[in-house]
């Protein structure tokens, strides 16, 4: 009995060790969510990366995956027409909106969930726009236009986007239904900690959910440059001016040398 128990224990330990770290870290509860990579490092030669999200929901369910940034307050200039030209007429501050919103689903979100759930969970751009807080307060028609322009700007930067049909659902099996998607990480997304969330949907309701963080950080020279800019702003400003002046002198010097050689050869 002791030998059998020991062999069983060794077998279980071997199985646990052989599991991929991300799968074991997330446990066996459903929904299951795996993220690759779990950390994006933006170094000197960073030119973008692809992110893969996959996991498992219960048999008969469908999944919605949302990648979201923390709420961010931003300021923008407003334009007004004065005669024949457009000029800055003031500034507005917009809050209540996530820094990043990417939504992946096997079909339209409205086909999977009811309107109230979509609104409460901010699962589309219309729900986000309804939650925006604009300061100073604007007339309703102007506030709607500002909100629409804000969403259009985010979409142009690749920070707000819905992808119906881009979340692939596998065939239902006894252990559950697999889902997966892969996408290029938005280059305009700043370093931060983002949340990747899977919503398990059935009968137009969310029956379970799970979230894991996605960390985006600067490393190497970009990291040191960012620290210098934030912690030593005055020194950074002086250094930038000096660097720009030296670059100008260097270009002027090279131009003079090149043109003088051409004249001499002519």
Domain co-membership, 176 together with 248: no
Give residue-wise pLDDT tens across range 2-24.
454 445 444 433 433 333 434 43
Could you give phi then psi for residue 265, rounded to 5 degrees? -70, -30
Give residue-wise pLDDT tens across range 89-141.
778 999 999 999 999 999 999 999 999 999 999 999 999 999 999 999 889 99
Flag whether 17 is in a domain. no
> What H or E segment, with its residue span, contains residue 254?
helix 233-265
What integer pLDDT is reported at residue 174 of this predicted model?
Answer: 83
Specify the length of the chain in residues: 266
Beta strand residue intervals within the chain, DSSP E: 32-36, 39-42, 50-57, 62-68, 71-82, 85-98, 101-105, 133-135, 160-164, 168-169, 177-184, 192-202, 205-218
Domain co-membership, 207 together with 246: no
What integer pLDDT is reported at residue 5 of this predicted model?
Answer: 47
For each successive 10 residues of the chain (266 residues), what is the average pLDDT? Answer: 47 38 51 94 87 95 97 84 72 94 97 96 95 92 92 96 96 91 94 96 96 91 51 59 73 72 60
Which structural domain, as residue segments, surrounds residue 236?
Answer: 232-265
Domain co-membership, 242 together with 208: no
Domain co-membership, 118 together with 203: yes
Residue 56: count other Cβ atoms within 10 Å of its Cβ: 25
For the entire predicted model, the pTM comes to 0.73
Q: Residue 167 half-sphere exposure, CB side, CA atoms within 13 Å?
A: 28
Domain co-membership, 98 together with 76: yes
């Amino acid at each position: 009995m002791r030998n059998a128990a020991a062999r069983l224990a060794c077998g279980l330990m071997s199985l646990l060790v052989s599991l991929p770290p991300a799968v074991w870290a997330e446990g066996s509860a459903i929904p299951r969510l795996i993220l690759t990579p779990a950390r994006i490092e933006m170094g000197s030669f960073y030119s973008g990366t692809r992110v893969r999200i996959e996991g498992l929901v219960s048999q008969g369910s469908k999944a919605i995956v949302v990648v979201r940034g923390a709420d961010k307050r931003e300021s923008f200039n407003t334009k007004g027409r004065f005669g024949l030209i457009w000029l800055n007429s003031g500034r507005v501050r917009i809050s209540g909106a996530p820094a990043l919103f990417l939504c992946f689903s096997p079909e339209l979100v409205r086909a999977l969930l009811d309107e109230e759930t979509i609104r409460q969970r901010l699962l589309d751009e219309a729900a986000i726009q309804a939650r925006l807080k604009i300061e100073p307060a604007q007339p309703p028609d102007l506030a709607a236009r500002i909100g629409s322009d804000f969403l259009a700007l985010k979409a142009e930067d690749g920070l707000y986007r819905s992808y119906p049909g881009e979340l692939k659902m596998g065939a239902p099996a006894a252990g559950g239904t697999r889902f997966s998607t892969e996408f290029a990480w938005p280059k305009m997304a700043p370093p931060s900690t983002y949340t990747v969330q899977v919503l398990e949907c059935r009968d137009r309701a969310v029956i379970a959910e799970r979230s894991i963080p996605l960390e985006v950080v600067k490393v190497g020279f970009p990291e040191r440059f960012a620290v210098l800019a934030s912690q030593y702003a005055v020194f950074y400003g002086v250094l930038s001016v000096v660097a720009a002046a030296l670059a100008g002198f260097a270009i002027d010097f090279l131009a003079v040398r090149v043109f003088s050689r051409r004249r001499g050869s002519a």
